[in-house]
Amino acid sequence: MIHSQVKSINRSAVSRHIDRQKSPNRPSPLKRPRAKTPTRPPRGHGIVLIDIGNTHTHIGFSRESRILQTTDLHTEDWANERNITRTRDWIGRTFKPDGACLCSVVPSATPAVQQALQELFGFKALQLTPDTLHGIGIDYPNPTTIGQDRLANAAAAKHHFGCPSVVVDFGTAVTFDVINSQGNYVGGVIAPGLAAMTDYLHEKTALLPRITIREPRRVIGKNTEEAMLVGAVHGYRGLVRELIRQLHQELDINAMPVIATGGYARLMARRIPEITAVRPTLTLEGLRLTWMAHH
């Protein structure tokens, strides 16, 4: 009986082997065809994000879903070829971005940046304006006077934190941008920036030094530099807290997200409990979202 079973198994194996030989469309198991390597590169090599500020130009490189890396350049260097070379070297000659999105508060620098993108990559950037803004409404008498970086901040804040919410941007100026419960940008506050204020004191006085902004060691300064630091850091924390309190009052709400961004965001947020999140790349994120809304 065992012998019969062996014969039956052998006959079945032979039968399957003959069937494979008779079938012209079925590949031999010993010569399985290899999968072809795609010759076309995957769609999208990234997006260049450019925030042209008064002092620095912040540049980011992102994929569709997130910002991968950032760098800072001096805005004044767009007047020569330094930033063109730095941008090319930073992004790398092997990357081929799909496009760019920018915002600018320095109109004189914008054409130079657009020309640099054209020379480097063969395209110009989508510029964030009230007309190209997506995802947030504007309830403001003259939208064209709103800083483009402030619109980018508001768009990113609403997308990630909802509304109502407030963005505090610690840049050359300290700005507050307010998104109301209906999801509209409704205005804000502008105050001198920390470095701008301390530089002004240095430039307009005979004895006050130029200082580097950092955390003061004590509240009572024991020398001129310490006294200036206390005025800048602790003084601005008081300013921010009081303005947030008044914004709560005017919006008639008890709590809302307050997002800090800009160069001094982490330093200032350490002792401002009203700040609920720190996002150093919030402006670039607003540009990324704008680009995605148009593509």
Dihedral (CA of 4, 9, 14, 16) sign: positive
Tell me if 172 sits within 8 A of 141, measured CB to CB. no
Half-sphere exposure of residue 215, counting CA atoms within 13 Å on the CB side?
8
The total of other beta-carbon atoms located within 10 Å of residue 128's CB is 25
**Two tokens, residue 294:** 């148009």
Residue among 66, 63, 59, 68 at smallest CA distance from 89: 59
Task: Tell me if residue 228 falls in helix, strand or coil.
Answer: helix
Query: Which of 149, 177, 199, 252 is the catalytic position?
Result: 149
Q: Does residue 19 carry a catalytic annotation?
A: no
Residues in contact with 99: Cβ distance below 8 Å, sequence separation at least 6, in sequence order:
47, 48, 123, 125, 126, 291, 295
The total of other beta-carbon atoms located within 10 Å of residue 57's CB is 25
Strands, E assignment, the chain: 47-52, 56-62, 67-74, 99-104, 126-127, 137-138, 165-170, 173-179, 184-192, 258-261, 277-278
Q: Please give the positions annotated as active site.
A: 149
